[in-house]
Amino acid sequence: MLGLWLALGATAHGAEGTDSLGQPAAEPNWIADVPALTDPELGTLRLQETEPIAEPIAEPVDTPLAETMEEPGNDDDAIAPSSAVEDPELGTLRLRDTTPPRPMRPSLFLVMDVHYFRSDNILLEDRDPTDDGILRPSLGLYAQQPLSANTRLIAAVEGGISRYGTLTDLNYHDLRLQAGVRHDLSNQVSITADWTNRQLFDSDSGDRFLSDHSPRVLVAWRQNLATDLVISSTYQARWSIANPSDRSRVIQSLGASLSHALQPDLAVGLDYRFTYVDFTRRDRLDSYHQLVAELTYDLNRRTRFLLYGGYSLGNSTDHSVNFDGTVFGIGVDMYVPLF
């Protein structure tokens, strides 16, 4: 869930957000990332007339809740015991019962989540850090269509509303469309290529103040070190083509995560991520680190509770931006198979 707080927080302070058909991600990050969720740079434009604020903080790239949205199939391939039938001309015939067909796994899901993010520097400002929180409920649809045993199409649409505690003039609505292809190279390695369009609207006037088209490549690796211990790592590269154009940038991030299952439905984890951002239409470079500890609890097979906290630090050639700060977040993710 590494990077989730920044994804949620950035949105909170107007940065860019996954992650999650994925992650997860919060960022649900929906595509392998999303499940998704919010974006640390979303909303930054609202403050452009005064001072530049937070730049896009990478979306969570851990597997989003949507990635687990597959109903267990019937893996019992055993052939039913045969029965014998006596025929006066053919002799004894052995008949086998027909194996019942496996039930269809659902391919369309309704995804719902509510997240609260808080930071002591929610706008990533250097001179006057602001301590505030943001509440973001969202609702979306996630679809997947297998192309082969190891490849599938994935698509999602999500809408959300973001409400600040004290910075209410920054409240906004957002709409996200996402489509891509995921291919499993092995049981441990997968690669995802996707496209996302994100649009932000002022909550009062309804005017759109940001539109962002982002092609992305994500490589994810996961390995079980023990029955209750999992290590994973991710690399993603994303080209954000934004309107206004001064928000356009190329984002690369590298992350690692260690998760330990305390119980079948309870796990703790530690996530680290390094992100490098190169703005393509202006002279600005950002680099920052984030370290987050998290706790997840499965309320049931389709609902997950998340609690996390951590710290981020970094540098920017724009000296008005400061990535140093503590973060805290809490959320609930849920999905319902439709068909």
User: Cα angle at 137 between 166 and 211, to 5 degrees?
Assistant: 85
Nearest CA-CA partner of 251 in 293, 221, 218, 291: 218
**What pLDDT was estimated at residue 195?**
98
Cα–Cα distance, 115 to 120 (Å, whole number): 17
The pLDDT, as a whole number, for residue 105 is: 76
> What's phi and psi for 171, nearest 5 deg?
-55, 140
Strands (E), 120-228: 132-146, 151-164, 172-184, 189-202, 208-226
Burial class of residue 81 (count of CB atoms within 10 Å of its CB; 0-12, 13-18, 19+)? exposed
Is residue 7 helix, strand or coil? Answer: helix
As a whole number of angstroms, the distance between CA 280 and CA 174 comes to 24
User: What sign does the CA torsion over 303, 259, 14, 237 have?
Assistant: negative
What is the SS3 assignment for 230?
strand
In this prediction, residue 214 carries a pLDDT of 98
Query: φ and ψ at 170, to 5 degrees?
Result: -100, 0
Q: How confident is the model at residue 106, as a pLDDT? A: 76
The series of mean pLDDT values per 10 residues for the chain, 339 residues long, is 39 38 36 38 39 38 47 43 55 61 79 97 93 98 96 98 97 98 97 98 96 98 96 98 97 98 97 98 97 98 97 96 96 96
> Radius of gyration over alpha carbons of the chain, in Å?
23
Tell me if 82 sits within 8 A of 95, measured CB to CB: yes
- On whether the 4-67+107-337 domain is CATH 3.30.530.20, my answer is no
β strands within the chain, DSSP E: 15-16, 40-41, 83-87, 91-95, 108-119, 132-146, 151-164, 172-184, 189-202, 208-226, 229-243, 249-263, 266-279, 285-300, 303-316, 325-337
Give the number of other Cβ atoms within 10 Å of residue 92's Cβ: 8
CB-CB contact of 306 with 334 (8 Å):
no
The amino acid at 90: L
pLDDT given at position 161? 98
Hey, where are the domains in the chain?
4-67+107-337
* Closest listed residue to residue 179, CA positions, set 125, 149, 142: 142
pLDDT for residue 206: 95
Q: How far apart are CA 62 and CA 64, in angstroms?
A: 6
Question: Residue 9: left if φ>0, alpha if ψ -120 to 50, beta else—which one?
Answer: alpha
CA distance 181 to 76: 29
**Buried b / exposed e along 211-250 (16+ C-beta atoms within 10 A):** ebebebebbbebeeeeeeebebbbebebebbbeeeebbbe
